[in-house]
Structures are given as structure tokens and as C-alpha cells.
Amino acid sequence: MSFRFARLPVLSLAGFLSLGALRLSAGSPPSDIIYLESNSTAGNSILAYTFNFTSAPVLTSTTPAGGIGVFDSTFALGPFDSDQNLIENQNGTLLFAVNSGSNNIAVFNIHPDGSLSPVHDSPFPSGGTDPVSVGLNGNTLVVINKDQDPAQAGTAAAAVLPNYTTFNVSPGGQLAPVPDSTVSVAVGSSPSQALIASQDNVVFGADFLGGLVQSFSLDPHGALDQNLPQPLPSSIFTGLTGGRLPLGMRTHPFLRILYVDITPVSKVAVYTYDPQGHLTFVRAVADAGAAPCWAIVNHAGTHLYVTNTGDNSIEVYSLADPLNPTEVQHFMMDSNNGGAVFSTVIDHSDEWIYVSSEQSGATASVSANAFHTLKVGADGTLSEPFPPTVLPVTSTPPVRVQGITVF
């Protein structure tokens, strides 16, 4: 990823929960701009916060996303389990956001002052139902349609299988489906993340409830070439009773290594991959937390951070040996009125991490929808110098924030 320069303070932006951090040029007060996506069924929007590194983040604007989000009153596994709901392109000129309840993708121009405006014809059909995750490889956008929106169950849309699909992105940000690019997966398999590998033209995904790790190579036209899906190795589960549910993924920034969270048994699987995305299992390492869901690796490739939704913590691993992550900190987060931490992103300096917190159950306060601002020490360990930033969302209709990305 490249840096963005000559940014002025944000004037307007939109989303419910997804994050994008932005570095200002030399001579301007340094700050990050954080974008979040609201995921409201009454109208999805993008929230923008600025953070100057010395005081708590400040809300600067809200922008409609042109669609609606999803909500499941049962808080069951699946519907809310997704990452990369909101991302920016490498140049910081386009923002892509899912409208899960409207089956489309919103695309915005990001202006020099950080404000947003929809590109012509946005939003665009997602190629399925309940889009939850997007990843960008050059001018190819990968979209995951989870097909688990409770509001669409029993409708004509429910007949569409969950899938992975791709779009060509024009210079103006318009999306055009890549012919013959859609790969459907099993009903109820709950695909959750469109992870673009750091090396080669490779895409990874986790069929969360299907128990499979997916890998694809992208051809020159942007079509997906699916490799044989892999179940998690049986050796990981010896003596354990938890389900075989892979979820959050991240690749090493400059090595062909993939890290995969295994939620029910609190482990992280380590794989290597070849230029076509074929995977080789190396080992699984323990996580002292409960229910690891999402992961990031810092840009320097020295530390892996795993978000543990079950006990509201972040597990910090040293990657001195990147094939054998070693735990160096079990960092407990502020509980924030019943919130559960989910997606995690790190800014370009590798000095600040932003973590989304979601309302985790029907009895949790709406103020659980928030995000955390964490300071990264020189040794990679974490502290939380500010209280969680509560998002300006209401309990009617009920909402649960989704997604996070940082630039």
C-alpha cells in the first residue's frame, strides 16, 4: 500500500463501521481519518472520524451509502461474521462499501479534503445476496455474497447461492461483472472475507460454517480460478471438542504465509502458499484468548494481532519466526457496555490500531457499537490511552456495526 499525501481535514464521509486511516503531508498536523460503516437497516451510512494522536477521535461527517444493512435479532453465528466490509484503493481515491441488505456495493470518490461523493451509477449490484466483504487487486474487485441476511430468507433472492465473484473497476470507479467469474459455494457455508494475498494474484476466503479454506488465483481478466477447497487438518483438533470453523485471515506482507483463526478452539493455523494459491499446512499455535475472529499483520511483518471476540482481547504474537508465531501479550480491552471486539486495522506508521466493537447480544447497550484506539509500543505490545469511541447510532431500529479497514 502507498501513502496518501496533501490531505486536509475531512469535511464529509459515510459508513457504519469500517475504518480507513489517512496520513497527512509534512507541514500539516498529522492525523488519521477513520471511516466506519453503520450497517443500519434503516439506511446504511459512512461515519468519518479524525484522530490527531493526542486526543480522542472526533466525528467529522456522515454520508449515506445508498442502501441498507442487515440485522439478526438472534445474534447467531454467521450473519455478522465478516471482515473488509469497507476498503479503499491503493491510491486512496476510491472507497468501496457493502450494502448487505440491498445486495449492492457503494463506490465513492475520495476527494483531496477527505470528503466523499458517489461515483456515477453507484451503488452497483453485488452479483448475489448479502454482500459482506470486498477485496481489491489492482482494478479487480473481489466480492463475497454471504447469503445470510435474515430479512431476505424465503424470498426469491434466497434461491441464489452464496458466492465469490469479481468485477472490473473502471478508472472512474464503476463496477462491471467479470464474465464467468462467479464461484458458488454451499448453502449455509457462510463465506466471510475476501482476502487479497500480499504476494501474486491470489485470493483467500474462509467458508466459516462450511469449515473450508478457499483459495483462488486471478487470471489476467480478473476471473477466479478456484483451487480445491481445504478442510482444516484433523491434527489441530486432537483431544478438542470445538467445531472446525475457520474465520479471520491475513497474509504476511512480503512472505507467502497465511494465518487463519480457528474460532471455537482458540488457535491460529499457519500455512504457506505457492504463486497459484495452493496451500501447505505448517502448524497451529495456541491463542490464550477466547474465540479468535480476525487478524492483522503489521506492515513491517514483525507482529501478528488476533482479535478474540469471546473475551474481548487482542493476542499479540512476535513473528521473529513467521512460521511459528510466539505470544508476547494477551491484551484485555475496555468492555464497553457489553461490546465484543471484532475487526482490527493498523495505520501506516504501525503505531496505532483501531478495533471495531459490536453489540454482542440483545441485552447489550447500543453504546457497545464503538471503536477502540490502541497505541502500539516499540516492542509491538498494546495499550489503550483513550476510552472507546461510541458511535452515534440508535437502538431503533437495532444496529450492529460491521467492518474495518485502515490506510
Listed range (46-55, 100-109, 124-133, 290-299) with the worst mean pLDDT: 46-55
**pLDDT tens digits, 223-233:** 999 999 999 99
How many distinct helices (H) and strands (E) make up the chain? 0, 31
Residue 229's identity, in one-letter code, is: P
C-alpha span between 12 and 35 (Å, rounded):
10
Residue 158 has pLDDT above 70, yes or no: no
**Angle 344-35-366 (CA atoms, 0-180°, nearest 5)?**
75
* Cis peptide leading into residue 123 (ω within 30°): yes
Q: In terms of C-beta density within 10 A (0-12 exposed, 13-18 middle, 19 or more buried), how is residue 49 classed?
A: buried
Provide the pLDDT confidence category of residue 2 given band limits of 50, 70 and 90. very low
Residue 37 phi/psi, 5-degree rounding, is: -110, 125
Q: What is the pLDDT of residue 115?
A: 78
**pLDDT tens digits, 81-99:** 999 999 999 888 999 999 9
Q: Mind listing the domains of the chain with CATH numbers? A: 32-390 (2.130.10.10)
| Extended beta strands in 182-241, E state | 183-184, 195-196, 202-207, 212-218, 224-226, 230-231
C-alpha span between 290 and 315 (Å, rounded):
10
Which are the contacts of 348, defined by CB distance < 8 A and separation ≥ 6?
1, 3, 21, 23, 299, 406, 407
Q: In terms of C-beta density within 10 A (0-12 exposed, 13-18 middle, 19 or more buried), how is residue 19 classed?
A: buried
Of residues 122 and 31, more confidence is placed in: 122
Residue 200's identity, in one-letter code, is: D
What b-and-e string marks burial along 238-270, b requiring 16 or more CB atoms within 10 Å of the CB? eeeeeebbbbbbbbbbebbbbbbbbbbbbbbbb
**pLDDT tens digits, 356-389:** 998 888 888 889 999 999 999 999 999 999 999 9
Q: What is the pLDDT of residue 75?
A: 86
Q: Is the dihedral of CA 376, 377, 383, 389 positive or negative?
A: negative
Q: What is the pLDDT of residue 5?
A: 32
C-alpha span between 217 and 223 (Å, rounded):
8
Write the DSSP symbol of residue 150. G
Residue whose C-alpha is closest to residue 103's, from 142, 71, 139, 70: 70
Residue 269 has pLDDT above 60, yes or no: yes
Specify whether the CB–CB gap between 83 and 294 falls below 8 A. Answer: yes
